[in-house]
Structure 1
């Protein structure tokens, strides 16, 4: 029916313009500000300003691509791709994919793009569905959409009634990026506990863990064969000089009979390859750190210092759910409180935990929220992503359930205090690499006990005990397995990466 309002046909362009302004506030406001600046300052001044801004942006991107992409590149990429990649061919592609409907008047109804958000690898297109459509219509056309927009893969998510999100993977940075194993450092001074490399991120930077302040405990979630062991072996490789010097002790629980970590038995302080022994190891771990907690607390010491007497105690638990949910009830009932206690009370005394699980559900891993750093590898279900990384992380672009099997070791890392997940990958450790690591850590026989019997000094003789634990002379320490055929003794350098850190934040 034709409208009877006088002059209505003349207001349709005005209504269209108002809708465009309201629907694209950033573009409209940018055009308005630019026009006002040209009017106020003049065209030549604005051209100079634009040229300087472009030059500064290009320099920023060349010098620091990750920060440029985070604060500026994503916005520019989202604006460009909304108009050029998605909005321009939208009607043609929707028609070709049979994603249009017809109303009672015979008019064609087309889904509408309401927004685009971009990360380095993925684009998320927010779509308001046309009347009569359902998310299943887009799921049936998912392969056609991926081909039409030249994406590697596509995912459909229902955001709310009438609105969904289409995720398009534009690139895979790890297709061509080679992730090398970190070299074995020869001295403790070359190891920084605040920057332990375990892989690389999607920007080509080192992905590191900070076992002193930030990444106190790490939870790895991933299906079988996803590459969880790669991160744990890479971490042990970065810690190798400290393990050899006795500054880091390893407590390892591998309930799968030692198939994953059995090769490293010689360099562990304690090892359990079954459920019952795993519970006994956990009890000993908690008892050891409880004693240290009381000792340091009664001495008025608020934070531990890594040393031969108080090493960093690193507990590795492969298949955590096997100890908290799938073992005998008497084991799971006793193990879960001990793990929760270790995650909450041993930060200041040097207790650190790295755990892995296949199903990061609350029933299987009830203490998953106590891990400040979480890494999600390939997962079998979309719901597992938020269970592992936290609520809303999949909507933020952590599509761990879309990682293909051929990309073992690729994951999304989420740290407390950081809003967005980071796409990372760890290097693969072969059996030869693990054997090399074990030989390196055990070659000088310095994997020691927590307490060593000290011979009492003779009468009138002062005990040789340095006031500063960082001044320990490791060269003077007695080595049990010394090879008398060597002409020179093996040297273990003093740990130096803590010196000069008086102004740094203490471990509370």
Structure 2
């Protein structure tokens, strides 16, 4: 009997020690697989159930029937994330969701919550959502250091900011985050997300391994300062359609060329760069423009989202309204990020059905926290609460200077002197068995202009 008792205590001690070690070594993973279950169980019985009757009575949510018997709403379940608690409530007879809405502030104060909201789950059942903490209030989000060379860029880990546990948050443009949809109202921080991504790609942009195609329909107010580092830039809807046509034609040509060579996946290089198209406001191209523009743009964008993964096409789109009318192709974006949005319905429209029920309360993000968002990627059920680092005008100027200053560029081939005595700078010359023995310059095979267009030209 004693041996069995000691064995149980030993096993319990080992389990507690293992759990504590897991929590200390990898808090996000622990919270995802075990922490939220333990926390939900603990908070239900120690915090909510223990004082449930007293609180609902004090808030005027208990009633009586015709026999004088008390009718009290029942706490059915508790779900807990790192930031929010969701209480599933079966309402008492004669109650409506509006009764709880009127008492919402009193309930939040009673349970010492920072904020609260209410959802109707089904007839007679609601969810009360309480925000317990705001990790980004005191968590600094430093701007990630800009890589100095291509060797410092990992397309699988392009750091944008931090998640709610303080862990670096990255996008993977190599395999997972092929296309990204950003939704957020004005001032929510979409610009910081986009500029942080470009900052992480800076050395590859400078070397020509990444080309940027940018559509800024608002007259270039957001991205006009970076036009020097872009391969192509459009600041209006018709110019945006022109750019989209060129983008699709370029990648179509590469698709057929690589197919003829038997290459299934292109490797980013000067010859086959990663072509990243950024549209700062999709609605201006897909909804709020002339019909001929939006119809053709929709067709071209849908084609780009479905056909260019292997040849190096990537799409980053931003919108204020993630509705089906505004972004009809939103299901083609494998990675979706919702910043602060105007309506609760926008959360599921952007991230996918049921994401708000899983704790993605993007409509509750405070206005004083721009850049905070919920990110949903394919292959992961739960959304992640993250924040992008703030990018200032000086940071943008530094990025543009880094990507465009000729002296910063490391040429792919060494600079040489041409037979006529001129320097190859700013050109890069590729030749075979060339010797300075009076050959005509026609024997030089190809010349690539370093800045601007990467198309090859023959020297005549």
Question: Normalising by structure 2, what TM-score?
Answer: 0.89
2:33 pairs, out of 49, 71, 78, with 71
Aligned to 1:243: 205
Aligned to 1:325: 287
Matched, 1:88 2:50: yes
1:396 pairs, out of 337, 340, 358, with 358
Runs of 4+ deviating beyond 4 Å? 445-448, 452-461, 477-481
Residue 113 of structure 1 aligns to a residue in which SS? strand
Aligned to 1:223: 185
Aligned to 1:253: 215
Gaps of 5+ in 2: 412-426, 437-446, 452-460
Cα displacement (A) at 1:333: 1.1
Aligned to 2:271: 309
Whether the 8 Å contact between 1:378 and 1:403 is mirrored in structure 2 is yes
Whether the 8 Å contact between 2:156 and 2:175 is mirrored in structure 1 is yes
Aligned to 1:497: none
- The alpha-carbon distance between structure 1 residues 380 and 163, as it changes in their structure 2 partners (threshold 3 A), is same
Q: How does 1:318-357 map to 2 (within 5 A)?
A: 318-357=280-319
Whether the 8 Å contact between 1:122 and 1:171 is mirrored in structure 2 is yes
Residue 125 of structure 1 aligns to a residue in which SS? strand
Aligned to 1:382: 344
- The alpha-carbon distance between structure 1 residues 41 and 135, as it changes in their structure 2 partners (threshold 3 A), is farther
Aligned to 2:444: none
Aligned to 1:125: 87
Cα displacement (A) at 1:44: 1.3
Whether the 8 Å contact between 2:428 and 2:450 is mirrored in structure 1 is no
Aligned to 2:322: 360
Matched, 1:166 2:128: yes
Matched, 1:440 2:402: yes
Name the CA distance, whole Å, in 1 between partners of 2:313 and 2:129.
40
Cα displacement (A) at 1:444: 2.3
- The alpha-carbon distance between structure 1 residues 235 and 40, as it changes in their structure 2 partners (threshold 3 A), is farther
Name the CA distance, whole Å, in 1 between partners of 2:212 and 2:165.
32
Aligned to 1:469: none
Question: Normalising by structure 1, what TM-score?
Answer: 0.81
Gaps of 5+ in 1: 1-38, 462-476, 482-508
Aligned to 1:269: 231
Residue correspondences, number? 425
Which has more strand, going by share of residues? 2
Name the CA distance, whole Å, in 2 between partners of 1:45 and 1:274.
73
Name the CA distance, whole Å, in 1 between partners of 2:38 and 2:428.
65
For residues 334-356 of structure 1, the C-alpha deviation after alignment (integer angstroms, 9 at most, x for no partner) is 10000000000000000001100
Name the CA distance, whole Å, in 1 between partners of 2:294 and 2:340.
26
Residue 318 of structure 2 aligns to a residue in which SS? strand
Aligned to 1:154: 116
